Structure 1
């Protein structure tokens, strides 16, 4: 650890010109509302092209809500450098310009001057995102009109739906010069009740619980559903967290992000079920990982002690310090689905709608995704259901399956949990190429 910190310190001293690492980049703040400031970090593609704008712009959204794209998404999943500051050979900037956004406001390096300015609904998040993108295009006009794709993981996938609606609305009104061509929802929190109700069946089928454990999980999940149906949305969120607690107990602490991961059996008792669930989602780390886990500690250290001074982040901003509040302010919206928004996009736009899922994920499990997909009401619904599922071959390996009709497609990705781009880069290439023609 001491050697790693020494290396990090040396590298940070070489970033005095206002960037972190050797990759071409831009970053900045956009005031999306008075007192609400959002941070973005753009990495230009390293593809061998005459101009950066010969390749599309991809926005990456982390989950949570409260998970940092500039931190977790960048250094842990698909950015040019990993947590050891080693080059990542499957980074997305090899083919795309990638814009990491700390979203919703209050996440990562984004901040509000008063917590009352935090968002409470998905639509408020989307409206802030449109303002963020207006500011981004003002700072980087070269990207106006360039194909734009939004990729969101977990809660980021949920946010992407309303963002697409608001972005298309702004494009049609002529108030933003973007060219949104598609969104991708990766292991996304689209229909939370469906996801929660399928935890038990998946765990039973995988042999991770017995019948008694299955029934205990389902009883708790059905209570979350009941509360939701009665309009008790905050109580439903709390019951969802309690259901996670039942799952942990009955499985001896299964990893919600990959059911095959071997996990420690100890369960911290100093925090509530909701706090434990919140911390897992914000940090994109399995339940049971202590908060001083070396990987989490290194990311916090890097962002606050190396990245922050290198990029000239204001002294008063502490990376991640408002993330818990971001999650808490969304409690009333957390369990609400966004399937109506997906139907609106399918019925009224030509935007490509991609759903991809790592088959080893539990929290946003594949069975729960299929339930809401099969209920979608759009002209191509029956044709999609009747379409043949095709295999995904990459380098002579079966990486998963896909099914598509019109502008909707579903990708099942093998040997991958919650963070598909990190767990199975080869499988990820399939849905990247399908949407963008690159990858």
Structure 2
């Protein structure tokens, strides 16, 4: 009965898809780019629906989600800034009102992006950057009208680290003449760009707004200092375990403060399940995946992306299911130094 009901709901949503154009002239496009052997990245472009300007007269904004492993084409698109929400209702605050939006599922293994060999996952930030440059080169060559359009990279969380590294590599490629693009700037939201500085700031910040008392501050600072000590000794995987424990300690001492909105006492982990922890070599890494990737991929979003949207796009391989399949960098090789490095 449940399967039949889901089929009816999916069919109803598919029936809504032809009406997606926010305006008669609104357009969208999507495709895959093979960035390396066995590595395929998915992008999705929404042209602006600006009321008075042509799409070449407004910026092109690329949106990068965090994780790594959270899907920009899914979460960023339908939960945050795209033209439709997860119920396919128009979003009044969509960024398409002022810009063209390019969502990319990166690194490979995220969202609709996929690998045909587990060895093809990105193991460091350099690979993440080089993969994106290949995608952007193909994109700008296929849509040369965007080469002179001001291009911005917007990002959040770990996406901020990827955005900074990608922008540096892109600027060098532009200067060398290998990519034609007009890079206007980078926007970093709550970015993981200097990780230890973030970890060390949590306690004093929460104390300053009375979410930690004296005892709680002491506990959190001790935990954060242990993270720094592990990093100083180049014990990167241990530092990651201690970081996870520090976040658990913060939730315990603050009665479950939400890491994305301190006004809420809705702990991220209170809404989590243990379904994906077993596939990680380290259970603490699995908990971080739950906190920063899995919780973004809600049941409603999963059903949308693996149902009506998959049907609409028509190019997703049968073997690929949308979701966060990309393991943290350190879980696919010696990637933890890159995860913890500062780009300042």
Aligned residue for 1:83, secondary structure, equals: coil
The reply to whether residue 76 of structure 1 matches residue 79 of structure 2 is yes
| TM-score, length basis structure 1 | 0.70
The reply to whether residue 277 of structure 1 matches residue 280 of structure 2 is no
Instruction: Write the distance in 1 (CA, Å) between the matches of 2:320 and 2:158.
Output: 24
| TM-score, length basis structure 2 | 0.88
Instruction: Write the distance in 2 (CA, Å) between the matches of 1:240 and 1:120.
Output: 20
Aligned residues of 1:200 and 1:217 also touching (Cα < 8 A): yes
Q: Which runs of 5+ in 1 are unaligned?
A: 286-294, 340-439
More displaced 10-residue stretch of structure 1: 107-116 or 43-52? 43-52
Instruction: Write the distance in 2 (CA, Å) between the matches of 1:167 and 1:269.
Output: 39
Instruction: Write the distance in 2 (CA, Å) between the matches of 1:331 and 1:317.
Output: 27
Tell me what 1:337 maps to.
Answer: 342
Instruction: Write the distance in 2 (CA, Å) between the matches of 1:219 and 1:76.
Output: 36
Instruction: Write the distance in 1 (CA, Å) between the matches of 2:191 and 2:184.
Output: 19
Aligned residue for 1:323, secondary structure, equals: coil
The reply to whether residue 308 of structure 1 matches residue 299 of structure 2 is no
Tell me what 2:261 maps to.
Answer: 258
Query: How far 1:81 moved relative to its partner?
Result: 0.6
The reply to whether residue 122 of structure 1 matches residue 122 of structure 2 is no
Aligned residue for 2:103, secondary structure, equals: strand
Aligned pairs, how many? 327
Judged with a 3 Å threshold, the aligned counterparts in structure 2 of structure 1 residues 56 and 230 are, in CA distance, closer, same or farther, namely: same
Q: How does 1:391-410 map to 2 (within 5 A)?
A: none
Instruction: Write the distance in 1 (CA, Å) between the matches of 2:228 and 2:162.
Output: 21
Aligned residues of 1:4 and 1:84 also touching (Cα < 8 A): no
Aligned residues of 1:115 and 1:325 also touching (Cα < 8 A): no
Query: How far 1:142 moved relative to its partner?
Result: 1.9
Query: How far 1:3 moved relative to its partner?
Result: 9.2
Tell me what 2:280 maps to.
Answer: none
Structure of higher RCO (CA pairs closer than 8 Å, 6+ residues apart) = 2
Aligned residues of 1:75 and 1:83 also touching (Cα < 8 A): yes
Once the two structures are superposed, residues 355-389 of structure 1 have per-residue CA deviations (whole angstroms, 9 ceiling, x without a partner) of xxxxxxxxxxxxxxxxxxxxxxxxxxxxxxxxxxx
Which residue among 7, 12, 15 is the counterpart of 2:14? 12
The reply to whether residue 191 of structure 1 matches residue 165 of structure 2 is no
Tell me what 1:35 maps to.
Answer: 38
The reply to whether residue 246 of structure 1 matches residue 249 of structure 2 is yes
Which residue among 56, 68, 73 is the counterpart of 1:65? 68
Q: How does 1:29-428 map to 2 (within 5 A)?
A: 29-49=32-52, 51-263=54-266, 270=274, 272-283=283-294, 285=296, 296-312=298-314, 313-324=316-327, 328-329=331-332, 330-339=335-344
Instruction: Write the distance in 2 (CA, Å) between the matches of 1:316 and 1:326.
Output: 23
Instruction: Write the distance in 2 (CA, Å) between the matches of 1:238 and 1:188.
Output: 20
Query: How far 1:97 moved relative to its partner?
Result: 0.3
Aligned residue for 1:333, secondary structure, equals: helix
Query: How far 1:138 moved relative to its partner?
Result: 2.7
Instruction: Write the distance in 2 (CA, Å) between the matches of 1:116 and 1:76.
Output: 31
The CA RMSD measured in Å over matched residues stands at 2.4
Q: Which runs of 5+ in 2 are unaligned?
A: 278-282
Instruction: Write the distance in 1 (CA, Å) between the matches of 2:119 and 2:323.
Output: 17
